[in-house]
Amino acid sequence: MAETATTDLTDLPLAALHAELGAKFVPFAGWNMPVQYASGVMAEHLWTRAHAGLFDVTHMAQVRLPKGALDALEGLVPADLMGLPEGRQRYSLFTNAAGGVLDDLMIAHRAGDLFLVVNASRRAHDLAHLRAHLSDVEEVTDRALLALQGPEAEAALAALVPAVTAMKFMDVAVLGWQGAELWISRSGYTGEDGFEISVPVAMAEGFARALLADERVAPIGLGARDSLRLEAGLPLYGQDMDEDISPVEAGQAWSIGKARRAGGARAGGFPGADVILDQLAHGAPRRRVGLRPEGRAPMRGDVMLYATPEGGAPIGRITSGGFGPSLGAPMALGLIDAATPADAVLYGDLRGKRLPARQVPLPFVPPGYKR
Amino acid sequence: MKYTEDHEWLSLDGDIVTVGITEYAATQLGDVVFVELPEIETQVAKGDEIVVIESVKAASDIVAPVDGEIVEINETLAENPALVNEDPTGEAWFFKIKIEDPSVLDDFMDEDEYKDHIGE
């Protein structure tokens, strides 16, 4: 069994609070991250779906760009950024020339700047990528990032910051709490309603403790964050998306703005646009699929998928999978040959045995976003 | 009760060894969601991976701690894998293995040695 390695890892600013709350830590993308607390992944997952979970996602990089960079940033992503109103946030992807994905990110259009949140594992890459194409790229290092997720997140946060009740899904706002400026978005990565809150490091512990004092709020680790996002059918960069998987293949074509598509006002104009727009028009070689393995055995990442119970070459693989606590069953995301019939039973090779898995629509669990 | 470095507990009754995982191991694994047990009457060798345990977090194996024959398995675990977290050293035993020579258990740690091993 793996021991927790702590060498060469960066501690979160709230590491002491997590330890006090009974966190177990694991290394993740160079950070020493709380993977779970005393109640465990299953209970934390179910708590978030029923109440409100507080996640420390300070490992993700926060980046500011000048407001005027919207145009240039649009040259790096397939989202319609020129059509992104002030006060709104959009999910997008950095693409490469081959039509693959360099990272996924959130882009907020604020009154005085653009605010980006990118994956921890891609921090250095994304900063270099942005600086190669844009000027005045500023990494924000004096703020923690917390996510409050779940059906009671609004009520719990509103007890401290009443104005959040006026925010809708993907709205962003700067709101005050005890003299601190909170950068809030109504978003997250759990499939639940909720908020991501950037708070100055000096105020972060007080703010986290104020939230945790609410009986509706419990601290939730990285383990449940992964099972929550998977149940919500949300892809994880590095597993379900990477430089060799296109947004169309990854099931993220919805994030390509109408203005950026063929016939749109600003069609193309992002890296790999020729490949990606061609896939939109004529289909991609592979497609993402939701899978429900029969029985209770989870099929995890890199399980090979076949069209038949024996023989034949693989038609794809599982990119991430596990057990869904709300679903009460195993679930997985796969990347398969696009020609595979939508009603075909697939077979995952689990320890040398091929076990059946049904293709199902995503998400596995209905979302609770407040639009 | 004897203990292995792989965090299994072994309980000897005549020439039958009952095998499970320790409280420490169950806590490390987290919520167990799936257990795959060996077939009865299988001959196993020490070190063979004969049980698969899947928790919400990851998959792990349990190895045969000694040579012998699987004579009984705990079918309850297939229906209720969470029992591994609830009662790891009691009701959640995994399998019973018939051994030739009970003295092979002498090589394993006793409770005090195991506690040292996990740093308690």
* CATH number of the domain enclosing B74: 2.40.50.100
Strand, helix or coil for residue B14: coil
Q: Do B31 and A40 touch (CB under 8 A)?
A: yes
Q: What are the pLDDT digits (tens) for A211-239?
A: 999 999 999 999 999 999 999 999 999 99
A309 DSSP assignment: S
- How much is the average pLDDT of A106-128? 98
**pLDDT band of A346, cuts 50, 70, 90:** very high
| Residue A370 pLDDT level (bands cut at 50, 70, 90) | confident
Q: Kindly state the average pLDDT of the residues A100-127.
A: 98
List, in sequence order, every residue forming a beta bridge with A317; answer none if it has no partner.
A304, A335
Report pLDDT digits (tens) over A297-322: 999 999 999 999 999 999 999 999 99
Any B CB within 8 A of A238 CB: no
Q: Are the beta carbons of A334 and A288 closer than 8 angstroms?
A: yes
Predicted pLDDT at A2: 42
The answer to whether the beta carbons of residues A197 and A173 sit under 8 Å apart is no
For CA atoms A177, A182, A184, A189, the dihedral sign is negative
Tallying the residues shown for chain B, one arrives at 120
Query: Residue A161's Cα: distance from chain center in Å?
Result: 25
Confidence at residue B77, expressed as pLDDT on a 0 to 100 scale: 95
Contact B62, B25 (CB under 8 A): no
Task: Identify the structural domains of chain A with CATH numbers, from first to last.
Answer: 1-282 (3.30.1360.120), 285-371 (2.40.30.110)
Which token pair is B87?
């009662």
Is B49 inside a domain boundary?
yes
Contact A149, A133 (CB under 8 A): no
d(CA A353, CA B66): 26
Measured in whole angstroms, the distance separating CA A287 from the mean position of its chain's CA atoms is 19
Calculated CA dihedral for residues A89, A91, A95, A101, nearest 10 degrees: 150
Q: How many CB atoms lie within 10 A of CB B95?
A: 23
Residue A145: its pLDDT value, please?
98
Say if B91 falls within a structural domain.
yes
Let me know if residue B106 belongs to a domain. Answer: no
Does residue B39 belong to any structural domain of this protein?
Answer: yes
What would the mean pLDDT of A166-179 be, rounded to a whole number?
98
- Asked whether residue B105 is assigned to any structural domain, the reply reads no
Does residue B60 lie in a domain region?
yes
The pLDDT of residue A3 is above 60: no
Sheet strands (E) in chain A: 10-11, 24-28, 31-36, 52-56, 61-66, 88-95, 101-109, 113-118, 138-140, 143-149, 172-177, 180-185, 194-200, 217-219, 286-293, 304-306, 316-324, 329-337, 346-350, 353-360
pLDDT computed for residue A86 by the predictor: 98
pLDDT band, residue A153 (cuts 50/70/90): very high
Separation between Cα atoms, residue A329 and residue A152, nearest integer Å: 25
Report field, pTM of the whole predicted structure over 0.80: yes
Q: Looking at the complex, does the CB of residue B25 fall below 8 Å from at least one CB of chain A? A: yes
Using a CB–CB cutoff of 8 Å, tell me whether A35 touches chain B: yes
Total tally of structural domains belonging to chain B: 1
Interface test with A, best of B6, B23, B35, B57 (most A CBs within 10 A): B57
Q: Does B28 touch chain A (CB under 8 A)?
A: yes
Place of tokens 């940033």: A73
B115: in domain = no
* Strand, helix or coil for residue A62: strand
Q: Which domain holds residue B19?
A: 2-100
Say if residues A54 and A111 touch (Cβ distance below 8 Å): no
B108 in a structural domain? no
ipTM for this prediction: 0.82
Q: Which residues of B touch A36 (CB under 8 A)?
A: 30
Q: How many CB atoms lie under 10 A from the CB of residue B34?
A: 18
DSSP A121: G
Contact A62, A140 (CB under 8 A): yes
Chain A residues in contact with B56 by the CB 8 A cut-off are 40-42, 45, 223, 227, 322-323, 325
Chains A and B form CB pairs within 8 A to the count of 50
In tens, the pLDDT along A35-76 reads 999 999 999 999 999 999 999 999 999 999 999 999 999 999
Band of pLDDT at residue B58, cut at 50, 70 and 90: confident
Q: What is the pLDDT of residues A245-275, one digit of tens each?
A: 999 999 999 999 999 999 999 999 999 999 9
- Per-residue confidence at A283, pLDDT binned at 50, 70, 90? very high
If we measure between CA atoms, which residue out of A365, A49, A371 comes closest to residue A232? A365
pLDDT of B13 above 60: yes
pLDDT (mean) for B42-67: 93
Angle at A151 between CA A234 and CA A173, to 5 degrees: 80
Q: What is the mean pLDDT of residues A187-198?
A: 97
pLDDT of A355 higher than 90: yes
Mean local confidence (pLDDT), A109-133: 98
Residue A1 has pLDDT above 60, yes or no: no
Residue A8: its pLDDT value, please? 85
Please state, rounded to an integer, the average pLDDT across all residues of chain A: 96
pLDDT at A5 over 80: no
